[in-house]
Each structure stands twice: as structure tokens, then as C-alpha cells.
Amino acid sequence: MKSKLIFGFHAVTARLRLDASTVEEIYVDSSRHDRRMGDLLRAAKGFNVRVIQADDQRLDAMVGTRRHQGVVARAGELSLARNLAELLDMIQGPPLLLLLDGVTDPHNLGACLRVADGAGAHAVIAPKDRAVGLNATASKVASGAADTVPYITVTNLARTMRELQERDIWLTGTTDDAEQSMFDLDYTGGTAFVMGSEGEGMRRLTRENCDRLVSLPMMGTVESLNVSVASGVCLYEARRQRLRAAGG
């Protein structure tokens, strides 16, 4: 089984709770003796997961950053859908998806995965090129959502968008210059929100393949929102509409 490194208390604890059998071993900072570390060690013991004492320098070298909080785990892959066809065949009810075009910051990707999990989105989709990929930093920022929300990379985003349209999924692109507000549309059917990078926005071909373009009303002085914040606004509006339609 292919393994990867995940780090930070949220990410490691979330993986233990989700599927402890995939956690091979946990490396912890031997100098930490606080309650948070104690809780993690008790959880690891309860799940019979091996714990290895390490110093801060070793943990830094393992993940390439000092932001590991003294906790690094080696874990196997979870059985999430890893290709588009498999994903769409598994979804029951109207799909709710997030497409990211040109997001290269792992912190933004992690935050997008986190809001996608919170809003109940079925997957995050991104191109293989011009995208950051699901690395250890993105997984940490996602706080466990990288293990619950499929992150599917595709070779050709425009072709993928057409495949989604063939499945009756409406592609709603977000852009600052759209005349229509995102709050004016219905998202109770199959919906995929398309987000571009903060600097450049959606690429021309991506924009042209959207069924509709919307903007988020900006009432203050800033011109735009961070991509993860904008994703959260859109996904939760779709969730709000679906809960109301279901009588929830």
C-alpha cells in the first residue's frame, strides 16, 4: 500500500478517527508533554498504532516545514474515488462539485478541501498542470478533509467540463465582472462551481465552457475574496437551497 506523510494534530487525529487501520506509525516530538500531545498518544494507544519519539529537527526534515506541531504520521491511502467516472457513478442525488482552475497555493487548496467537506461537496476537481497537488501542507490545512473529500486531477479540464455537462451538471463560473449575482440562481440540481486563481481568474477556455457566470456581491472596498472563502460562500448557498428544498 502506498503511504504518505500527514502532519499536525487536526490532520493526524482526523485520520485516526476516520480509519486508524491506515495509520502505520506516528512520529512525535519527544520534548512535548502537554495535554494535546497526551490526548493524541492515548488515541494512538487505543488504536494500537506505533508511536516513535523523535526530535524537532527530524520532524522538520521529514515534512520540509516547521509547522508540523510536533506530530507526523505515515499513513496509507484511503479508498476514495480517484477518477471522474468512478466518482459520478457513486454519487446519489444531485452532484455538488468544486472545480479549481489555476490554484497553486497548498494553503488555498487545503482550505478549499475543508470548506468542501463542511458544505457536503462530493469532490474537488483540478487540472494536473497549473495546480499545486495534494501535498503534506495542503493536507494539514485541510484538517482531515483531504481524507474525506476526493481530490481528482484531470489531464484536460475543458474536456472534463464537457463530460460533466453531459451528466446534466451545470457549470457555474465565478468572476468579478459577471453581471448576475450568484444568489439569483438555483443550485438544487447538479452543480459544479468553477473557481479561478486569485491573480488571473479562470483561463479563457475554462470560462467559455461554463454554462453561466456569476459574481459575489462585494459591498466593501476589497475587489475580491480569497478562493477558499469564495468557494465556501458558493457551496454553502447551494447547501442552503438544497436543505430548504428538502424541508430541512
Three-state secondary structure readout of the chain: CCEEEEECHHHHHHHHHHHHHHEEEEEEECCCCCHHHHHHHHHHHHCCCEEEEECHHHHHHHHCCCCCCCEEEEEECCCCCCCHHHHHHHCCCCCEEEEEECCCCHHHHHHHHHHHHHHCCCEEEEECCCCCCCCHHHHHHHCCHHHCCCEEEECCHHHHHHHHHHCCCEEEEECCCCCCEHHHCCCCCCEEEEEEECCCECCHHHHHCCCEEEECCCCCCCCCCCHHHHHHHHHHHHHHHHHHHCCC
More confident residue, 246 or 153: 153
Provide the 10 A C-beta neighbour count for residue 3.
14
pLDDT digit string, tens, across residues 209-241? 999 999 999 888 887 789 999 999 999 999 999
> In this structure, what C-alpha cell is assigned to residue 197?
486563481
Q: Look at the domain 3-76 and name its fold.
A: 60s Ribosomal Protein L30; Chain: A; (3.30.1330)
Residue 34, number of CB atoms within 10 A of its CB:
8
pTM of the model: 0.73
Query: Which pLDDT value is given to residue 124?
Result: 95
Please tell us whether the domain made up of 84-245 is placed in CATH 3.40.1280.10. yes
Q: What confidence category does residue 85 fall into, taking pLDDT thresholds of 50, 70 and 90?
A: confident
pLDDT in tens, 60-78: 999 888 889 999 999 987 6
Give the model's pLDDT for residue 82. 65
Segments making up each domain of the chain, as ranges: 3-76, 84-245
Quick: pLDDT tens for 171-208: 999 998 899 999 999 999 999 999 998 777 899 999 99
Identical fold between 3-76 and 84-245: no
pLDDT in the model for residue 139: 87
Q: How far apart are CA 186 and CA 164, in angstroms?
A: 17
Greatest alpha-carbon span in the chain? 57
pLDDT at site 159 = 95
Cell numbers given for 38: 497526551
What is the band of 136 on the pLDDT scale with cuts at 50, 70, 90?
Answer: confident
Pairing between β-strand 151-154 and β-strand 123-127 as defined by DSSP bridges:
parallel
Cα-only R_g, the chain: 19
Task: Tell me how far CA of residue 237 lies from CA of 2, 44, 118, 204, 233, in angstroms.
Answer: 37, 38, 12, 26, 6
Q: What mean pLDDT do residues 4-8 have? A: 88
Mean pLDDT of 84-92: 84
pLDDT of residue 14: 82
Calculate mean pLDDT across residues 150-178.
94
**What pLDDT does 206 receive?**
94
User: Residue 1 pLDDT > 60, yes or no?
Assistant: no
